[in-house]
Amino acid sequence: MIATIQYNSRKIQIDVSKPIDISIAIDASKMGVNAWYIDAPKIFPENSDGEIIKVSEGAVVNFNSIHFNPHSHITHTECVGHITNKVHSVNKNLKHYFFVAEVVTVAPESKRGDFFISAKQLKTALRNKKRDAIIIRTLPNLIEKKSKQYSNTNPPFLLEEAAQYLKEKGIKHLLIDLPSVDKEKDEGQLLAHNAFWNTSGDLRMDATITEFIYVPNTVEDGEYLLNLMIAPFENDATPSKPILYKIIE
């Protein structure tokens, strides 16, 4: 089914029957992605007066509670409230949900045991393209990213210069398949977060960072329409389900 969307001054055509889900879900029945040194998420039926509220246990409904951290266990979208004294809500500051995005594949550079993405690499990938969002797929792009235990592994990250470049280029929404845009242990500097959200100047309240995505290898680099769907939590970060649609020329 082909749909035409008016995006700013541009008419965009997409096939709504072919969504590309780049989120990672929580599945408590098996090992899922995890970071930041905390236990796995839990999904469990509640207990009322000694009775388990689960249909297979004789209840009339399934009534599960979920214990998780969006930063550790699932694809999530965060706003500047993640690093500011005042906890701004991503649910209140993300007010639009469709964006023209560029998928780029990057092999992180390495130096002294660190793997990182530089401004030069992003400039090469984006060139003069004008986009609202960038979706960064890192190499190697293994399916194990959906269940990797990242704590104490020093995963790749963005250099401060790379985040600064994205901000200056007008990228409002940064999506990446890593647990963080910053180095795992950086003495609390959070250089890429601070640069992207411009914490030394006017805060970019409507800019977001989405971490723990997974872009399948079948998805080609290029231009897509991004639907950045979030769960309505009043929090600095919330679980999200970014969906891509290939733009039909």
> What are the boundaries of each domain within the chain?
2-28+70-248
Q: DSSP state, 51?
A: E
Please state the rounded mean pLDDT for residues 127-149: 97
**CATH assignment of 2-28+70-248?**
3.50.30.50
Please state the rounded mean pLDDT for residues 55-70: 97
* pLDDT at residue 235, as a whole number: 98
User: What does DSSP say about strands 173-176 and 64-67: parallel, antiparallel, or unpaired?
Assistant: unpaired
Structure tokens at 103: 């998928």
- Whether residue 161 is predicted with pLDDT greater than 90 in this model: the reply is yes
* pLDDT at residue 134, as a whole number: 98
* pLDDT at residue 206, as a whole number: 97
Which residue is listed with tokens 């509220």? 53
CA 51 to chain centroid: 38
pLDDT per residue as tens digits for the range 75-132: 999 999 999 999 999 999 999 999 999 999 999 999 999 999 999 999 999 999 999 9
* pLDDT at residue 9, as a whole number: 87
pLDDT per residue as tens digits for the range 182-205: 999 999 999 999 999 999 999 999
- Whether residue 180 is predicted with pLDDT greater than 90 in this model: the reply is yes
CA distances from 203 to 25, 75, 81, 175 (A): 30, 24, 10, 19
- Whether residue 249 is predicted with pLDDT greater than 80 in this model: the reply is no
* pLDDT at residue 217, as a whole number: 98
